[in-house]
Amino acid sequence: MNRKALLSVAAVFVLGVLLGGLGVYVWASKVYSAPSVKRSHIERLTETLVLSAEQQQQVHGILSDTKSQFDATYDTIRPRMDGIRQQGRQRIRAVLTPEQLPKFEEYLRQLDEDRKRKGR
């Protein structure tokens, strides 16, 4: 192999390593600098408002009570929401071709699986 070709291969290799390293650096800085979405409301409120320990307990109780009220309210309307969802699905099925129906059913299966996984 002549010297010019060897230098070209080496230059491409070095350039690839540098670009790869830059890519990893950019990716890692985006991933690790993003705020955590798993932080609780109480943690975020404590940090933002500088809540005392007593305030944290009170706010935690209020948030817990509010969540319970939301859950109870949703439980009363969930059957109606499910009925509306099923009616909509039936109406969509009525306009689809026989070839489209299996794809729609698979779409619904995945949608329901995602809903179940997210606790909805």
- At 29 the pLDDT is 60
Do 63 and 89 fall into the same domain? yes
Do 28 and 43 fall into the same domain? no
- At 40 the pLDDT is 84
Q: Which residue has the higher pLDDT, 3 or 27?
A: 3
Tell me, rounded to whole angstroms, the distance of Cα 57 from its chain centroid. 29
Residue-wise pLDDT for 42-89, tens only, equals 898 999 999 999 999 999 889 889 989 998 998 999 999 999 999 999
Do 18 and 57 fall into the same domain? no
**Residue 77, domain extent:** 37-117
CA distances to 7, 13, 15, 113 from 4, in Å:
5, 14, 16, 58
Do 47 and 96 fall into the same domain? yes
Residue type, 16: G
Do 56 and 89 fall into the same domain? yes
- pLDDT range class, residue 21, cuts 50, 70, 90: low
Do 24 and 44 fall into the same domain? no
| Mean pLDDT, range 8-35, rounded to an integer | 65
User: Rounded to an integer, what distance in angstroms lies between the CA atom of residue 16 and that of residue 6?
Assistant: 15
Do 43 and 100 fall into the same domain? yes
Helices (H), 1-120: 3-33, 41-49, 53-95, 100-117
Q: How many domains does the chain have?
A: 2
Cβ partners under 8 Å of residue 42, min gap 6:
56, 59, 60, 63
**pTM of the shown model:** 0.49
